[in-house]
Amino acid sequence: MPAILLNPHRTWLILIIATAATFWVRADGLVGITAGAATLAIAAIKGRLVILDFMELRHAPNPWRSVISGWLMLVTVLLMVVYAFGPSLLAGVDKP
C-alpha cells in the first residue's frame, strides 16, 4: 500500500475531506437543525481520529484512552442536546 494510505497519513487525508464536508454542509448542503447536528457529528469524528491516531491513544493503556475518549463523547452529547433542545427549553429565561 502506498505510504499516504497508511496511518497516520490516511488520518490526515480523512480529516481534510471531513473539513471540506463540513464546509459543504454549511454552505449549501443541509439546512436548519439537521445541518447543525451534522456539523457537530463531523467535529466528533474528526476529534476521535485526532485522539486515536495523532495522540496515539489507540494503543494507550486505560484509564487514559477511556478518559480522553469519554471526554469527547460527553462533550458531543451535551453540545447536541443543548443545541437541539436548548432554545425551546430556555424560551422563558431572561436574556443576559
Partner 1 sequence: MPVELTAPASAASKSALRLPGDPDIWFLIFAELMTFGMFFVAYVGYRALEVDLFNESQLSLDRTLGVINTLFLLTSSWAVVTAIESARKNQLKAVPRYLALAIALGVGFMVIKYFEYSAKFAAGISLTTNTFFNFYFALTMIHLVHVIGGTIVLIVLWSNARGGKYHAGNTRGLETGASFWHMVDLLWIFLFPLLYLLR
Which stretches of the chain bind partner 1, using CB under 8 A?
8-9, 11-12, 15-16, 19, 22-23, 25-26, 35-36, 39-40, 42-43, 46-47, 50-51, 53-57, 59-61, 64, 67-68, 71, 74-75, 78-79, 82-83, 86-87, 89-90, 93, 95-96
CA–CA distance, 42 with 13 (Å, rounded to integer): 14
User: Of 5 and 93, which has the nearer Cβ to partner 1?
Assistant: 93
49 burial via Cβ count (<10 Å: 0-12, 13-18, 19+)? buried
Query: Least distance (Å) from partner 1 to the CB of residue 1?
Result: 16
Half-sphere exposure of 24 (CA within 13 A, CB side): 7
Question: Which cell goes with 50?
Answer: 485526532
Query: Least distance (Å) from partner 1 to the CB of residue 24?
Result: 11
CA–CA distance, 58 with 49 (Å, rounded to integer): 9
Query: Least distance (Å) from partner 1 to the CB of residue 57?
Result: 8
